[in-house]
Amino acid sequence: MQQSVITDKFGRALQDLRISVTDRCNFRCRYCMPREIFGKDFVFLPKEHLLSFEEIERLAKIFLKLGVRKIRLTGGEPLLRKGIVSLIERLAALEGLQDIGLTTNAVLLGKMSDDLKAAGLKRVNVSLDAIEDETFMQINDSNYRTQPVINSIIKAKKAGLEVKVNMVVKKGMNDHQVVPMAAFFKDLSITLRYIEFMDVGQTNGWDFKHVLTKKEIFDMLSEHYSLEPVDPSYFGEVAKRYRYQGTNTEVGFITSVSESFCSSCTRARIAADGNFYTCLFAGEGFNLKDLLRSGISDEQMEETIVSRWKYREDRYSDERTEETARNRKKIEMSYIGG
Ligand SMILES: Nc1nc2c(ncn2[C@@H]2O[C@H](COP(=O)(O)OP(=O)(O)OP(=O)(O)O)[C@@H](O)[C@H]2O)c(=O)[nH]1
Ligand SMILES: C[S@@+](CC[C@H](N)C(=O)[O-])C[C@H]1O[C@@H](n2cnc3c(N)ncnc32)[C@H](O)[C@@H]1O
Ligand code: SF4
Ligand code: SF4
pLDDT tens column, 170-203:
999 999 999 999 999 999 999 999 999 999 888 7
Residue 228, CA atoms < 13 Å, CB-side half-sphere = 6
Q: What pLDDT does residue 236 have? A: 86
Q: Read off the pLDDT band of 2 (50, 70, 90).
A: confident
Task: Confirm or reject: Cβ of 32 under 6 Å from ligand 3.
Answer: yes
pLDDT score recorded for residue 234: 85
What distance lies between CA 3 and its chain's CA centroid? Answer: 24
Distance 296 CA to ligand 1 centre (A): 31
Q: HSE (CB half, 13 Å, CA atoms) of 116?
A: 30
Q: Taking a C-beta distance cutoff of 8 angstroms, is the pair 325, 208 a contact?
A: yes
Mutate to test the pocket of ligand 4, among 7, 261, 317, 320 (most ligand atoms within 8 A of CB): 317
Task: Give the H or E element holding residue 167.
Answer: strand 162-169
ipTM: 0.98
Cα of 129 vs centre of ligand 4, distance in Å, is 22
Q: Is the CB of 259 under 6 A from ligand 4?
A: no
Please give the annotated binding residues, written as ranges: 18, 25, 29, 31-32, 72, 76, 103, 127, 164, 198, 262, 265, 267-269, 279
pLDDT tens digit string along 37-94? 999 999 999 999 999 999 999 999 999 999 999 999 999 999 999 999 999 999 999 9
Ramachandran angles phi, psi of 284, nearest 5°: -135, 150
Single out the residue of 232, 126, 101, 104 nearest to residue 184, CA to CA.
126
Looking at ligand 4, which residue's alpha carbon is closest to its atom 3?
Answer: 315
User: Alpha-carbon distance 160 to 238, whole Å?
Assistant: 23
Q: Which of 48-52, 192-196, 204-208, 309-313 has the lowest mean pLDDT?
A: 204-208
Interval 260-292: pLDDT, tens: 999 999 999 999 999 999 999 998 999 999 999
Three-state DSSP class for 43?
A: coil
Identify the CA nearest to 84 among candidates 239, 309, 304, 272: 272
Q: Per mean pLDDT, which range of 145-149, 152-156, 317-321 is the poorest?
A: 317-321
Tell the residue nearest (CA) to atom 4 of ligand 4. 262
- Give the distance (Å) from ligand 2 centre to CA of residue 246: 31
Positive or negative: CA dihedral 130, 132, 135, 138: positive
Q: How many Å separate Cα 324 from the centre of its chain?
A: 22
Helix, coil or strand: residue 158: helix
Is the pLDDT score of 27 beyond 80? yes
Model confidence at 126: pLDDT above 80: yes
d(CA 41, CA 74): 23
